[in-house]
């Protein structure tokens, strides 16, 4: 049995913010941001919510898969910025879609979240308990940014991406060929955002939420050291060589990181499509939005061999290799 992706979808907020826009209220410039990150614009939520963007991306993925929500057995949402702690994002998506048969829960693994969620969905489907799954990455990162800190806030944007997965007992040559995940919790504090502190009759204190803080140099070193290794492991597990891969769809954190990974894998940048120029870093939504963009632009077709890779806070990382089958 193979699990294959049969539909993709994405959604971003209407408001597009340029680097020049950011320079109006902080000490930065278009040249400073572009030269260090490759990012030119990002979309920030004004009226949209994480749930609304997740639902829209899910609807588009279901339409792409020619599938009704009632056919779903499983919904997994990857997010670190849900609209509320209870109910979780996946349950809200289930309700909005009318996917009454689907089990729904969230996964928190930051920028690797979509890869973690997809791996879990694959195991559910391979075990035979479920047949069709919806996997979503959705974030409103603008709500946890310090908008006076140019070292972090200029990197991030808001949006959602989704994919529909289906188990196919007859298929042997297409679908998800391998997944590899990893975690280094000891390094987690280089990229952090604290929750509200304990507050009860015995503990008095500030209940305000913190903002994202990041040691950019350490995150860069982690990414360029770890991502090539996890990709190489996933490609080997799939029984392929690196040169057989048509496209590497990496988490869109920073153009310099992607260029460094390509160099270490001895692969041309033409195999590494990017959209961070338009969207910035959208954490768990980054990989599925890029996958949807590549799919919609007709860049991948029957038999295309693709690597998906996420990496980020935790520290976490993951990669998946798949052979595309057109719907």
Look at the alpha carbons of 246, 79, 157, 7 in this order and tell me if their dihedral is positive or negative.
positive
Distance CA 228, CA 232 (A): 6
As annotated, the active-site residues are 111, 251, 281
pLDDT, average across residues 155-172: 91
**Phi and psi for 171 in degrees, rounded to 5?**
-80, 130
Give the pLDDT score at 324: 95
Query: pLDDT digit string (tens) for 39-62?
Result: 999 999 999 999 999 999 999 999
Q: What's the mean pLDDT in 63-90?
A: 97
> Per the confidence metrics, is the pTM higher than 0.85?
yes
Looking at residue 38, what is its pLDDT? 96
Identify the band that residue 327 occupies on the pLDDT scale cut at 50, 70 and 90. low
SS3 23: coil
Binned at pLDDT 50, 70 and 90, residue 197 comes out as: confident
Confidence check: pLDDT of 238 > 90: yes
Output the average pLDDT for the chain. 95
User: Whole-angstrom Cα distance, residue 61 to residue 56?
Assistant: 9
Spatial separation of the C-alpha atoms in residues 110 and 63, rounded to whole Å: 27
pLDDT at residue 93 is higher than 90: yes
Instruction: Report the candidate in 121, 6, 8, 134 with the shortest Cα–Cα distance to residue 70.
Output: 134
Separation between Cα atoms, residue 19 and residue 147, nearest integer Å: 13
Nearest to 162 by CA among 277, 72, 246, 284: 284
């Amino acid at each position: 049995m193979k699990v294959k992706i049969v539909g993709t979808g994405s959604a971003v907020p209407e408001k597009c913010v340029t680097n020049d826009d950011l320079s109006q209220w902080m000490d930065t410039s278009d040249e400073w941001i572009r030269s260090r990150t490759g990012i030119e614009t990002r979309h920030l939520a004004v009226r949209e919510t994480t749930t609304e963007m997740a639902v829209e991306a899910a609807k588009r993925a279901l339409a792409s898969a020619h599938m009704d929500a009632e056919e779903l057995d499983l919904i997994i949402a990857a997010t670190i910025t849900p609209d509320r702690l209870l109910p979780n994002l996946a349950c809200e998506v289930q309700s909005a879609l009318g996917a009454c048969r689907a089990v729904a829960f969230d996964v928190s693994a930051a920028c690797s979240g979509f890869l973690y969620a997809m791996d879990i969905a694959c195991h559910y489907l391979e075990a035979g308990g479920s047949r069709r799954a919806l996997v979503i990455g959705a974030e409103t990162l603008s709500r946890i940014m310090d908008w006076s800190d140019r070292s972090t806030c200029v990197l991030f944007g808001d949006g959602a991406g989704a994919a529909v997965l289906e188990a196919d007992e007859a298929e042997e040559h297409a679908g998800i060929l391998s997944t590899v995940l990893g975690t280094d919790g000891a390094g987690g504090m280089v990229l952090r955002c604290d929750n509200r502190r304990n507050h009860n009759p015995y503990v008095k204190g500030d209940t305000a939420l913190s903002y994202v803080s990041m040691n950019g140099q350490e995150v860069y070193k982690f990414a360029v050291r770890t991502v090539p290794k996890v990709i190489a492991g996933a490609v080997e597990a799939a029984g392929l060589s690196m040169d057989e891969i048509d496209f590497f769809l990496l988490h869109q954190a920073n153009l310099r990181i992607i260029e460094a990974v390509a160099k270490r894998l001895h692969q041309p940048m033409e195999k590494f499509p990017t959209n961070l120029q338009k969207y910035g870093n959208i954490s768990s939504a980054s990989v599925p939005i890029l996958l949807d963009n590549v799919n919609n632009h007709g860049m991948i077709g029957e038999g295309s061999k693709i690597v998906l890779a996420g990496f980020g806070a935790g520290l976490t990382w993951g990669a998946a290799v798949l052979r595309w089958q057109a719907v």
